[in-house]
Amino acid sequence: MKKLFGFALLAIMLTLVAGEKNDNVAGAGKAKVDSPKVVVEKFFVAMGNLDKAGAKSQCLESSKIMAQMYNSIDNMKNAPKEVQQKITANFKNAKVFDEKIDGDKAIVEFKMGNQKVPFILVKIEGKWKISGPSEEVLAAAREKALAISCLTHLKILGQAIRMYEDENKDTIPMANSDWKKLINEYAQDEKAFICPKNQAPYRYLGNGQADSSLQDPSREFVFVCECEHGGKLNVCFADGHVASHPVQAVKDAIKNAKPGKLPLLK
């Protein structure tokens, strides 16, 4: 009798477990569809984590524009660390704040930096997918891509200058020398001397300074891109790092540089 009871209990337990499984299956079948807002949020999280597959999964497969966006993750992975961190932070800090649904179409507005931008979404097979940003966003993205590419060029030059210094008694080439040739021996990249936005060469400010004569290599710059990128100018510092600074600040630094010294950014 005791044995039979045990068997019955086991049978009940098995039924319960099976029932639980069924519930799970039923639950999965009724999985909540992500709202357009959630889809955009997930896209930003994936972009911020440089997760290309994750970003792609939130986008309309046929959208070339969105493909460009998530494929840019490959470039971001090659960008200088300081640039990469800024971009991923932009995605991580993007705030989705408005959602308008009209049948199978939706517009989700989000804020990136100080800019409010809309994404258009469509419902395909019951799921919301990002079809693309508005033209306004595209223009900003193109601009951003050029700015990143410009900083990447400057970084190559910054590293080349450091290598030159190491082999030349800690000095950098004179601006009135054949500096491009001297630096390119280390950069090995003719394109790195030109801004991708306006195709103009970067301005070199070196004057044969020795590393030991610098006040602060992290604030004194050797190269400047004179083409504006979103109201800023890209510069390469004597320590090899690159950054964007407000146009006026860079111009003032160049104007106020003492003879034989590099311009210094406060």
Which positions lie near Zn ion, rule CB under 5 A? Answer: 150, 195, 225, 227
Dist. CA 171–CA 226, nearest whole Å: 24
Report the nearest approach of Zn ion to the CB of residue 253 (Å): 17
In the three-class reduction of DSSP (H, G, I as helix; E, B as strand; rest coil), residue 237 is classed as: strand
Q: Which is nearer to Zn ion, 138 or 145 (CB)?
A: 145
Task: List the alpha helices (DSSP H) in the chain.
Answer: 2-29, 36-48, 52-56, 64-78, 81-93, 135-167, 179-187, 247-255
Report the nearest approach of Zn ion to the CB of residue 196 (Å): 7
What is the phi/psi pair of residue 7, to 5°? -65, -45
Q: Which is nearer to Zn ion, 47 or 235 (CB)?
A: 235
Q: Which is nearer to Zn ion, 51 or 226 (CB)?
A: 226
Pair of tokens at residue 242: 């690159």
Report the nearest approach of Zn ion to the CB of residue 252 (Å): 19
In the three-class reduction of DSSP (H, G, I as helix; E, B as strand; rest coil), residue 186 is classed as: helix
In the three-class reduction of DSSP (H, G, I as helix; E, B as strand; rest coil), residue 250 is classed as: helix
Pair of tokens at residue 42: 């997930």
Q: Which is nearer to Zn ion, 128 or 193 (CB)?
A: 193
Dist. CA 132–CA 134, nearest whole Å: 7
Report the nearest approach of Zn ion to the CB of residue 247 (Å): 12
Q: Which is nearer to Zn ion, 123 or 251 (CB)?
A: 251
Report the nearest approach of Zn ion to the CB of residue 24 (Å): 55
Give the full edge-to-edge strand order of the sheet including 221-224.
203-204, 221-224, 232-237, 242-246
Instruction: Of 100, 98, 106, 96, give the one whose Cα is nearest residue 127.
Output: 106
Report the nearest approach of Zn ion to the CB of residue 225 (Å): 3
Dist. CA 209–CA 71, nearest whole Å: 41
Q: Which is nearer to Zn ion, 59 or 235 (CB)?
A: 235
Q: Which is nearer to Zn ion, 65 or 227 (CB)?
A: 227
Report the nearest approach of Zn ion to the CB of residue 155 (Å): 12
Question: Which residue shows structure tokens 């394109």?
Answer: 191
Q: Which residues pair with 108 in a beta bridge?
A: 99, 119
